[in-house]
Amino acid sequence: KQEVTQIPAALSVPEGENLVLNCSFTDSAIYNLQWFRQDPGKGLTSLLLIQSSQREQTSGRLNASLDKSSGRSTLYIAASQPGDSATYLCAVKHPLDTGRRALTFGSGTRLQVQP
Amino acid sequence: ETGVTQTPRHLVMGMTNKKSLKCEQHLGHNAMYWYKQSAKKPLELMFVYNFKEQTENNSVPSRFSPECPNSSHLFLHLHTLQPEDSALYLCASSLAGAGEEKLFFGSGTQLSVL
């Protein structure tokens, strides 16, 4: 059974710092991995999606990497801003031939960027 | 606005009530999902529908009854809920068979069961 773990559970940094959020998964047989952002009481916003054949994806100040063989992904946030404060979730998708379409989520990292 | 709309945003109900959550997607997707998010727990998959057919049921109690009349609409009918069912219920959709299969989420319904 796939399990996804995110470390740390919570993180507080001063504005301007570069930071790394970690995600690990137990079964390396994945179709893709997605990073989401969730603001309190709200839905999830997709940030980056990495296919299993890819190593990284970039969007603005965000960079996500994937090492499928070791079951790890990182989300790098450059020059953090108070508006980045949110919970960041990673999720993996099962291979399509399993017939399972849903994602398995980690518990998230709650980020607070201090002005 | 992600193209996935959920109503109501907030719902308070007693244990004997019957209510329904509604989800509508305007993205032309063919797969829809219900997830439950409780405090301090990872998102839990409840149901998956692909082309209106239920393809996954994650051992959800029968007091939760999903309905998918077409590829754009998804309902979650609730009856005789328990206080521990209080949570944020999230709907999502995706385009199955289109490569990335990225999920798009609605804003959720915050449910409180008294």
Q: What is the pLDDT of residue B1?
A: 53
Q: What is the pLDDT of residue A113?
A: 97
Nearest to A101 among B40, B42, B50 (CB): B50
B48: closest chain A residue by CA: A102
**E strands present in A26-61:** 32-38, 44-51, 56-59
Residues of B in contact with A57 (CB under 8 A): none
Q: What is the pLDDT of residue B105?
A: 93
A106 — contact with chain B (CB < 8 Å)? yes
Burial-class residue A70 by CB neighbours within 10 Å (0-12, 13-18, 19+).
Answer: exposed
Q: Give pLDDT tens digits for B1-51.
A: 569 999 999 999 998 889 999 999 999 999 999 999 998 788 999 999 988
Lowest mean pLDDT among A59-63, A111-115, B39-43: B39-43
Using an 8 Å Cβ cutoff, are A39 and A88 in contact?
no
A112 — contact with chain B (CB < 8 Å)? no
Using an 8 Å Cβ cutoff, are B68 and B51 in contact?
no
When scoring A44, A97, A100 by the number of chain B Cβ atoms within 10 A, the one with the most, hence best to mutate, is: A44
CB contact under 8 A, A41 and B108: yes
CB atoms inside a 10 Å sphere around CB A58: 11
Question: How many Å separate Cα B59 from the centre of its chain?
Answer: 15
Average pLDDT, chain A: 93
Q: What is the pLDDT of residue B41?
A: 83
Nearest to B103 among A31, A103, A107 (CB): A103
A101 — contact with chain B (CB < 8 Å)? yes
Could you give the C-alpha distances from B47 to A36, A108, B67, in angstroms and in order?
20, 21, 10
Name which residue leads in pLDDT, A76 or A98. Answer: A76
In what helix (H) or strand (E) does residue A1 lie, and over which residues does it extend?
Answer: none
Lowest mean pLDDT among B61-70, B74-83, B90-99: B90-99
